[in-house]
Structure 1
Amino acid sequence: MNYLAHLFLAQNNSDSLTGNLMGDFCQGLDIRQLPRPVQLGIHNHRSIDRFTDNHVLVRELKGHLPKEMRRYSGIIADVVFDHFLALHWQDYCDQSFFEFRSQRYQQLLTRIDLMPERMQLMVQRMTSQDWLSGYQELSNIDRALNGIGMRMRFANPLHRAIEPIKENYHIYQATFAAFFPELVIHVDKENIESA
């Protein structure tokens, strides 16, 4: 899952939110030096990624992509799933999308001192440019995938991913609708076990 889903599936406190986003920024970081709630957030992030990457419905999406894009199927699904979460927000959350994103931006900024520099820059851009709202528009999904592709150190086809996404839009949407409630249950169970 991408940024929106990781924030949605975090506990509603600044440390958990920070850890849930920090999961992608841990390289070279000694997480044992971080506050325990941040460590638990990182654990939650990794658990979400494992569950998502290994779920049969998510893995089946690979077959709907051109051969040269199949290696990137997980990245594509993560970003597209955030699109559907943003579009169908009211199906999953009682809090309005506007209130959720405003609150989460404020909470993340209070813990920016704990974040690695690369994550600090990302969070500052996310909050100032309101990335979470952008997930509602397919054109921004295209931009997000282009950005991910440009940050990779090797050539990749992510700049062309929007076309197969559009062609298989209903399949991605149906997969998200079937998969996401299972992910929520998984996270709830993990949180109970780690409490």
Structure 2
Amino acid sequence: MNYLGHAYLSFNHPELLVGNMIGDHIKGRIALQSLPQGIHNGVLLHREIDRFADNHPASQKAKTYFREHYRLYAGAFVDSLYDHFIANDPHCFTSEQALFDFTQETYHTLVQYLPQLPEGFQKIFPYMREHNWLYGYRTMKGMQKSFNGLAHRAKYIDNADQAYVAFVSHYYTLNQYYYEFIDDVKSFAQSVIDQYAEK
């Protein structure tokens, strides 16, 4: 899952949402332990979701379309395409407006906690908000930008052209894999959140 997926799977818990969104920016035990408990749990939720998604049978099948050209980065492209399908899933967002409203609520929550967040996330957040990255996953143009951004950040990828071709060429098959995955990851994320509530 990418930023939209992690935001959605926080199920409207503000501190969990914050931790879930910054999960990739928290490195090491000291950084994790310094966070408020709710945000700390959100980071752990982020990691649990990533682990679950990476090992799910649907993800394993989806990765095969990207592995030839991108090898270990195949999973990163699958994470992005999951966000595209979430953005277009009427069971997640009943309309385009509902998705837009969700993105604005997410940014509003993050702004309230921004001074506490890691420097790396603070640097990208203004661009995320201004260009509405969360909403951008909805469109094919937005996905092309997401793939290109991934390639730009990766050390061993020259471009994302083949990934985008694979995404377009196998769109309906990849969408089917998403539907094999989404209910499972929703149930999993909720079970993790329930465990935190019991502690």
After TM superposition, the score normalised by the length of structure 1 is: 0.92
In structure 1, the partner of 2:16 is: 16
**Contact 1:83–1:136 (8 Å) recurs in 2:** yes
Give, in angstroms, the shift of residue 99 of structure 1. Answer: 1.9
In structure 2, the partner of 1:192 is: 194
In structure 2, the partner of 1:42 is: 43
Superposition CA RMSD, Å = 1.8
Give the counterpart letter for 1:153 in structure 2.
Answer: K
Matches within 5 A, 1:120-131: 120-131=122-133
**Contact 1:19–1:38 (8 Å) recurs in 2:** yes
Residue deviations 1:24-49 (CA, integer Å, cap 9, x gap): 10125621111000000001000000
Partners of 1:107 and 1:124 in 2: how far apart? 14
Give, in angstroms, the shift of residue 189 of structure 1. Answer: 1.1
* Alignment gaps of 5+ in structure 2: none
Partners of 2:174 and 2:94 in 1: how far apart? 24
**Contact 1:13–1:107 (8 Å) recurs in 2:** no
Residue deviations 1:36-79 (CA, integer Å, cap 9, x gap): 00000001000000000011111112222361224222111110
* Alignment gaps of 5+ in structure 1: none
Partners of 2:37 and 2:133 in 1: how far apart? 28
Task: State the aligned residue count.
Answer: 194
After TM superposition, the score normalised by the length of structure 2 is: 0.90
In structure 1, the partner of 2:145 is: 143
- Relative distance call for 1:152 and 1:69 in structure 2 (3 A) is closer
Partners of 2:160 and 2:134 in 1: how far apart? 20
After superposing on structure 2, the runs of 4+ consecutive aligned residues of structure 1 that deviate more than 6 Å are none
**Contact 2:23–2:43 (8 Å) recurs in 1:** yes
Partners of 1:194 and 1:164 in 2: how far apart? 39
